[in-house]
C-alpha cells in the first residue's frame, strides 16, 4: 500500500535525523523493511511511532492511516490522534465527547466534515430567535432577513432597527441553526437599499459573529426579545470584527478557520451605523 510505504520511509527519515550515528547496515535494513512492507509500528515501538503520527497535520491522511490495517487502526484509536488533531484544528470540538470508546468515531466524523466544509456550501440558518430592536413590527421583523428577494408576496421584505441619534450604537440578530452541531466557515449579509425612501444603503460599519448555545433551556423562548442579552447564551466562539461596505451587495465574511458551533445558535453583531435617515434625522441599520 502506498500510504504504508510512505509512512515507513518517513520513519526512516525520522530516525536518521535524530540518530545520525546509525551505521550503514542499520539504514539498509530499515530501507528493506519499507520495500518488503513491514509494519513499522511493531519494529519502531509505540513512542517513536507516536511521534511520527503526531506530525501528520492533514486530517485526510490520519483518517486514511487508520484504514491501513487493524494494528494501525488500534494504535491510532487508542492514542487519540484523530481527536487531538480535530481539537487542534477546531478547539470547540473539545466539548463534544468524553473519553470513551466512541471518541474515535465521533471525532473522525467531525474531522471529515471539517475537510468537506471547504468543498460544500450549504446554508445552515433555519430560524430567527430575536433582534435587539425592530422599527416597525411586524412589517420590518427579523424573519424578513431569511428571504432572498426584496419583494415577497407584493410587499417589501427587510429588517430595520429602531432609529438612534448615536451612530456608534450596535444591534444584534440571533438565529438558530439546522442542528446543534454545525460547522460554519462563512456568513453572508446583504444590506438593504432603501429605494422607497432615499435610495441609500443602511449598513453597519462593522460586523462580528458569535457561535454557541442557549444557557438556560434546550427550547427557544416564547418572548424572544427578552432573551437578547449575552447573559442568556454561552458563546464558544467570537470572530474578529470585519469592516462592512455600504453597498447593496451580498457581502461574504470568511471566518479565519472553520468553526464548530455547539448548540446551534449564531449571533450577528452589527457595530455602528453608517447612514442617517433624512425623515427623522436618526441612524438606522437595515
Return per-residue pLDDT of the chain as tens, 286 residues. Answer: 333 333 433 443 343 444 343 344 434 444 444 445 567 677 777 788 788 788 777 777 777 777 777 888 888 877 878 778 777 777 777 766 555 556 667 777 776 666 565 555 677 888 898 999 999 898 999 999 988 877 777 788 889 999 999 999 999 999 999 888 788 889 999 998 887 777 889 999 999 999 988 876 555 555 555 567 777 888 989 999 999 999 989 999 999 988 888 888 999 999 999 999 988 999 999 8
Helices (H), 19-172: 24-36, 40-44, 46-53, 59-65, 70-79, 81-89, 103-116
Residue 134: the pLDDT is: 93
Question: Comparing C-alpha atoms, which of 98, 71, 68 is closest to residue 83?
Answer: 98
Grid cell listed for 87: 481539537
The Cα–Cα gap between 92 and 101 comes to 20
Residue 93 is given by DSSP the state: G
Helices (H), 80-160: 81-89, 103-116
Cα separation values, 122 from 117, 125, 177, 234, Å = 9, 9, 12, 25
Kindly report whether the global pTM for this prediction surpasses the value 0.85. no
Per the CB < 8 A criterion, the answer to whether 25 and 59 are in contact is no
CA end-to-end distance (rounded Å), the chain? 58
> What is the three-class DSSP state of 60?
helix
> Is the CA virtual torsion 250, 252, 253, 258 positive or negative?
positive
Residue 84: the pLDDT is: 80
The Cα–Cα gap between 60 and 79 comes to 17
Residue 259: the pLDDT is: 86
Helix %, strand %, coil % for the chain, to 5? 35, 25, 40
Grid cell listed for 57: 497535520
The Cα–Cα gap between 209 and 125 comes to 13
Amino acid at each position: 500500500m502506498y500510504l504504508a510505504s510512505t509512512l515507513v520511509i518517513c520513519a526512516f527519515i525520522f530516525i536518521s535525523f535524530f540518530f545520525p550515528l546509525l551505521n550503514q547496515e542499520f539504514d539498509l535494513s530499515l530501507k528493506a523493511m519499507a520495500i518488503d512492507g513491514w509494519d513499522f509500528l511493531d519494529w519502531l515501538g509505540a513512542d517513536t511511532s507516536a511521534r511520527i503520527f503526531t506530525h501528520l497535520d492533514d486530517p485526510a491522511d490520519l483518517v486514511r492511516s487508520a484504514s491501513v490495517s487493524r494494528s494501525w487502526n488500534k494504535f491510532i484509536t487508542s492514542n487519540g490522534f484523530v481527536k487531538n488533531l480535530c481539537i487542534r484544528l477546531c478547539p470547540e470540538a473539545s466539548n463534544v465527547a468524553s473519553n470513551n470508546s466512541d471518541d474515535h468515531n465521533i471525532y473522525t466524523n467531525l474531522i471529515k466534515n471539517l475537510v468537506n466544509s471547504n468543498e460544500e456550501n450549504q446554508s445552515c440558518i433555519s430560524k430567527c430567535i430575536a433582534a435587539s430592536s425592530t422599527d416597525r413590527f411586524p412589517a420590518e421583523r427579523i424573519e424578513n432577513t431569511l428571504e432572498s428577494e426584496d419583494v415577497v408576496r407584493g410587499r417589501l421584505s427587510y429588517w430595520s432597527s429602531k432609529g438612534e441619534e448615536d451612530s456608534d450604537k450596535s444591534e444584534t440578530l440571533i438565529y438558530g441553526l439546522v442542528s446543534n452541531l454545525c460547522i460554519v466557515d462563512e456568513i453572508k449579509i446583504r444590506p438593504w437599499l432603501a429605494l422607497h425612501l432615499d435610495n441609500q444603503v443602511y449598513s453597519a460599519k462593522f460586523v462580528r459573529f458569535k457561535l454557541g448555545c442557549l444557557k438556560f433551556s434546550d427550547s427557544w423562548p416564547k418572548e424572544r426579545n427578552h432573551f437578547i442579552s449575552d447573559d442568556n447564551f454561552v458563546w464558544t466562539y467570537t470572530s474578529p470584527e470585519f469592516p462592512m461596505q455600504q453597498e447593496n451587495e451580498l457581502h461574504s465574511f470568511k471566518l479565519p478557520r472553520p468553526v464548530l458551533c455547539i448548540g446551534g445558535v449564531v449571533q450577528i453583531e452589527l457595530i455602528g451605523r453608517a447612514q442617517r435617515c433624512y425623515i427623522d434625522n436618526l441612524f438606522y441599520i437595515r
